[in-house]
Chains A and B, each alone.
Chain A
């Protein structure tokens, strides 16, 4: 009988610390929301977190909350509620699952951290660099909580990043100073912002170094590990906690490399993942790839929180540049060149494009890129149809067969 290979998961030792600091992050935001002397800001995942931290806000990231809804597979309990409230099933399923959970007054934070509800926002701050949906998402909550909404409306699909793009965002970030001073009750202190940006840059650099360890053969970590351990770089940018955490994680990965410890036993194929994770299937996919001796070593997604352009000496300019030059906000040409560079850097055998039904901004299979990558760079590509949170858009069997067939194709040489 054809037997399934049993997978032994290699626990990352830093995971216990990861869980502890993530718990502290949520508990701090929760207690800040109950303390009249503290303020809570809701921020998009690639929003100006440094600026908010510099004003003393405790941060909360709805995207992070939505990813938890996906991971614990309750997103599909809530998406239909938002659909019925007028939010289309075709728009971002982070948005629909998060708003649906809010309408039902439920949150997984309750079960995980014993937190009653999402921390009430004093301000909501977005950046449309990643997509337009975040603006609508935050607008909903601004109405619900009667809280001020500020944001950056970023120049989009940039091919060559020019000074005027950066200056535009720089101006928009500076324009936030006045409302944020009023809301926080704190004055803008340039030294504080410089220090926060310095910490953010340090954490981001360490995160890049963690991800770069995957260039080793065999790789000490997978995209699936990265999708979990990216938590602090998303929600704790600008804090010493993130810096300390990534130093520990980096040491562990380097130790694995030194001792030849592979994330996937008998690594035969090295893959690149473009697009969103399928949060509800993270474990199943991770195990399927491991069973096939295939390691998804790198991804556009995990790399998206590397911000090399942060500059403590020019914090506004650096933030404007870093948050505008991100992959998701670039032209097809830039994206294609970036993936080609990653293929080389991580010695990739094949590229998987996740075409996420409700996330067009993070789906790069729609304008012919997989065929171009295949034809120009001679590397096999596979498109998987799915979604970040809405598992109604995901076919388990079809995805499984596609992945297996892709590995069979690679095995043929």
Chain B
């Protein structure tokens, strides 16, 4: 039987991701790059990198869905879908066997989403954070900058915290001021970073009630699994994190691509 493949490209505000799946929905390749200003070129580069990692040819990819804020810039895609439906499809793919309603929490570079699904994966409702950076990856980037800590070290440092520090405000700028006050008062960087993680979790739980299977996706959880643990503690439920949580939107896009392709084939 001829091998056919499907692709998803997620052009996010911070990173651009691509995923390729085969007909049995197995991920055969993926790629992640920092989002730059030339979105069209970048989307192509990321997609080519995913192709290289999968060792398949471009011609073998039958349908491509673009998603993310730069979805209109993916000029080689067949169709566009929003990141809401793509994240829900990607998350449902991994946790459908739990046969439960689901709350998908995606923490992205510049926005957060909570998507509630029924046990069949159908979207019941969704919410995106309001306009500011509170609780997003951009918030953590600002904190890392203020503390003069490399972004990739945040998680390790947070795990070494000795207490749960309360940062009261949700404005990123006000929080930065609070951090300076804490540092001035002799607080450790580790405790301040954990405080920032707690703040991220607070922004999530105030967006929507999280019921059923709680799934976390996105770059922030991919690099900072400690945030998932804080959410678990807060909700007193297990938080499910799929493999490679950063590409769940791109994976969802490729799953929709497969669905679309098969529907078109069935319609002749």
Instruction: Closest A residue to B77 by CB, please name it.
Output: A2
By the criterion CB–CB under 8 Å, are A374 and B125 in contact? yes
By the criterion CB–CB under 8 Å, are A405 and B84 in contact? yes
For A373-413 the 0/1 string (1 means CB < 8 A from B) is: 01000001101010000000101011001101100110011
By the criterion CB–CB under 8 Å, are A401 and B84 in contact? yes
Q: Is A1 among interface residues, defined by CB-CB distance under 8 A?
A: yes
Interface size class of B (residues with CB under 8 A): 20 to 34
Ordered nearest first, which 9 A-B pairs have the shortest CB separation?
Answer: A405-B84, A405-B82, A1-B75, A409-B123, A2-B80, A408-B85, A404-B82, A395-B131, A401-B82
By the criterion CB–CB under 8 Å, are A2 and B126 in contact? no
Q: Is B3 among interface residues, defined by CB-CB distance under 8 A?
A: no
Q: Which among B65-73, B152-160, B184-192 touches the partner chain?
A: B65-73
For B107-138 the 0/1 string (1 means CB < 8 A from A) is: 00001000000000011011110110000000
Instruction: Closest B residue to A380 by CB, please name it.
Output: B125
Known contacts A398-B131, A405-B126, A2 near B71 by CB under 8 Å: yes
Complex interface: chain B residues within 8 A of A404 (CB): 82
By the criterion CB–CB under 8 Å, are A393 and B131 in contact? yes
Complex interface: chain B residues within 8 A of A401 (CB): 69, 82-84, 128
Q: Is B96 among interface residues, defined by CB-CB distance under 8 A?
A: no
Most chain B CB within 10 A, of A1, A393, A395, is at A1
Complex interface: chain B residues within 8 A of A383 (CB): 127
Q: Is B74 among interface residues, defined by CB-CB distance under 8 A?
A: yes
Complex interface: chain A residues within 8 A of B130 (CB): 385
Q: How many residues of chain A have a CB within 8 Å of chain B?
A: 20
- Residues B38-79 near A (CB distance < 8 A): 66, 69, 71-72, 74-79
Instruction: Closest B residue to A386 by CB, please name it.
Output: B131
CA of A1 to CA of B40, assembled, Å: 11
Partner of B128 from A1, A374, A398 at Cβ < 8 Å: A398
CB pairs A–B below 8 angstroms (30 shown): A1-B76, A1-B77, A2-B71, A2-B74, A2-B77, A2-B78, A2-B79, A2-B80, A4-B72, A380-B125, A381-B125, A383-B127, A385-B130, A393-B131, A395-B131, A397-B69, A398-B128, A398-B131, A401-B84, A404-B82, A405-B82, A408-B82, A408-B85, A409-B84, A409-B85, A409-B123, A409-B126, A412-B122, A412-B123, A413-B122
Given contacts A385-B130, A412-B122, 19 further A-B contacts (CB under 8 A): A2-B74, A381-B125, A383-B127, A385-B131, A398-B111, A401-B82, A401-B83, A401-B84, A401-B128, A404-B82, A405-B83, A405-B84, A405-B126, A408-B82, A408-B84, A408-B85, A409-B84, A412-B85, A413-B122
Q: Is B93 among interface residues, defined by CB-CB distance under 8 A?
A: no
Taking the closest CB of chain A, its distance from the CB of B18, in whole angstroms, is 16
For B243-264 the 0/1 string (1 means CB < 8 A from A) is: 0000000000000000000000
Taking the closest CB of chain B, its distance from the CB of A223, in whole angstroms, is 22
Complex interface: chain B residues within 8 A of A405 (CB): 82-85, 126
By the criterion CB–CB under 8 Å, are A408 and B81 in contact? yes
CA of A393 to CA of B131, assembled, Å: 8
Complex interface: chain A residues within 8 A of B82 (CB): 401, 404-405, 408
Taking the closest CB of chain B, its distance from the CB of A275, in whole angstroms, is 15
Complex interface: chain A residues within 8 A of B78 (CB): 2
CA of A289 to CA of B215, assembled, Å: 31
Instruction: Closest A residue to B209 by CB, please name it.
Output: A371
CA of A413 to CA of B111, assembled, Å: 26
Taking the closest CB of chain B, its distance from the CB of A371, in whole angstroms, is 8
Instruction: Closest B residue to A395 by CB, please name it.
Output: B131
Instruction: Closest A residue to B208 by CB, please name it.
Output: A371
Instruction: Closest B residue to A398 by CB, please name it.
Output: B128
Complex interface: chain B residues within 8 A of A395 (CB): 131
Taking the closest CB of chain A, its distance from the CB of B73, in whole angstroms, is 10
Taking the closest CB of chain B, its distance from the CB of A61, in whole angstroms, is 31
CA of A119 to CA of B131, assembled, Å: 38
By the criterion CB–CB under 8 Å, are B83 and A2 in contact? no
Most chain A CB within 10 A, of B74, B76, B131, is at B131
Complex interface: chain B residues within 8 A of A1 (CB): 75-77
Instruction: Closest A residue to B127 by CB, please name it.
Output: A383
CA of A402 to CA of B83, assembled, Å: 10
Taking the closest CB of chain B, its distance from the CB of A16, in whole angstroms, is 35
CA of A401 to CA of B83, assembled, Å: 8
Complex interface: chain A residues within 8 A of B131 (CB): 385, 393, 395, 398
Complex interface: chain A residues within 8 A of B81 (CB): 408
Complex interface: chain A residues within 8 A of B69 (CB): 397, 401
- Residues B132-168 near A (CB distance < 8 A): none
CA of A178 to CA of B82, assembled, Å: 60
- Residues A1-17 near B (CB distance < 8 A): 1-2, 4
Taking the closest CB of chain B, its distance from the CB of A92, in whole angstroms, is 19
Complex interface: chain B residues within 8 A of A2 (CB): 66, 71-72, 74, 77-80
Complex interface: chain B residues within 8 A of A412 (CB): 85, 122-123
Instruction: Closest A residue to B113 by CB, please name it.
Output: A405
CA of A8 to CA of B232, assembled, Å: 51
Complex interface: chain A residues within 8 A of B79 (CB): 2
CA of A398 to CA of B126, assembled, Å: 13
Complex interface: chain A residues within 8 A of B72 (CB): 2, 4
Taking the closest CB of chain B, its distance from the CB of A407, in whole angstroms, is 9
Complex interface: chain A residues within 8 A of B128 (CB): 398, 401-402
Instruction: Closest A residue to B121 by CB, please name it.
Output: A412
Instruction: Closest B residue to A413 by CB, please name it.
Output: B122
Taking the closest CB of chain B, its distance from the CB of A194, in whole angstroms, is 49
CA of A393 to CA of B77, assembled, Å: 32
- Residues B185-209 near A (CB distance < 8 A): none
Most chain A CB within 10 A, of B79, B126, B127, is at B126
Complex interface: chain B residues within 8 A of A409 (CB): 84-85, 123, 125-126
Complex interface: chain B residues within 8 A of A393 (CB): 131
CA of A393 to CA of B130, assembled, Å: 10
CA of A385 to CA of B71, assembled, Å: 22
Complex interface: chain A residues within 8 A of B85 (CB): 405, 408-409, 412
For A1-40 the 0/1 string (1 means CB < 8 A from B) is: 1101000000000000000000000000000000000000
CA of A18 to CA of B66, assembled, Å: 43
CA of A381 to CA of B127, assembled, Å: 10
